[in-house]
Amino acid sequence: MEFMVLRRANQSTERGTQPPALEPGTFLRPSAEAVRLLRRDGAWREVHGPFPPKEVVAGFVLLEAESREDIIAQVRWWPLFDSGAVYEIRDAGSPVYGAGFDERGTASGTLPLRQEDLTRYVIFLRADADTESDAMAPPENLDVINAHNEAGVWQGVLLAGDGLKGTANAARVHYANAKTSVVDGPFTDVRELIAGYWMLQAASLDEAIAWAKAYPYPQQGDITLEIREACERKSHVEFTPEMIKAEERLRAELLEAELRNAFSKAARGG
């Protein structure tokens, strides 16, 4: 099974503090540099950031796992960047926006080609009631979308893209001081949710905006997109000795808290 793990933004990530390179995936620049595209009654409007941290994500990664329980266990033991991190685990592969693709290629076998002189941008499709209900697009619309995605990869524009299923089977892993907790979906505030993404490379933000406006979206009604610049891996911070010691302390506190909870349950007979 394939899952997308979204790191929810907080004050630290919105200040531009980057997680260490040991944390997997793509990190995004703060939402102060982001733009939202709102299509209302067929007309586009641009809204520039920053946006409330609870509404945005700081990064994401696609991972394979045997089950939701397995991916939750993996996330709970990632290197601790900060004690207030929240990771949202979503089922990838919603067919609303066609077949997913990444560096492994498209369904037809076309491989994306990264051009280092171009900037990577991530275009998030913000969720709505339809995407949360996993509403299906008509087959003829999917054919158009798949062809458009294929052409984008062949032209050297698109690098990856996929849809996310609604949050009915999602989960969030919360780090708080020396404890972790898991909250199961569905999550009711759709303003906080992502329904899919595309990663493209372009010479400027204006080019990325133009591409997003020209996409053959299946729905005729309103949509909201969010465009974020991705940080290159070379910009990520490596684990320093101080960060390693802090991470070890947090892990020790987490283990101690889990042992206390286990002993407490045993003492209560449950």
Sorted by where each begins, the domain ranges of the chain are 2-238, 240-269
- Beta bridge partner(s), residue 7: 59, 87
Structure letter (DSSP) for residue 53: G
Query: What is the tens place of the pLDDT at every residue in 139-154?
Result: 778 889 999 999 999 9
Q: Which fold has domain 2-238?
A: Alpha-Beta Plaits (3.30.70)
More confident residue, 135 or 130: 130
CA distance 251 to 83: 10
Instruction: Please report which confidence band the pLDDT of residue 22 belongs to, taking 50, 70 and 90 as the band edges.
Output: very low
8 Å CB contact between 137 and 216: no
Q: Residue 163's closest CA among 55, 62, 71, 72?
A: 62
pLDDT for position 94: 80
Query: What is the tens place of the pLDDT at every residue in 227-245?
Result: 999 986 544 455 566 656 6
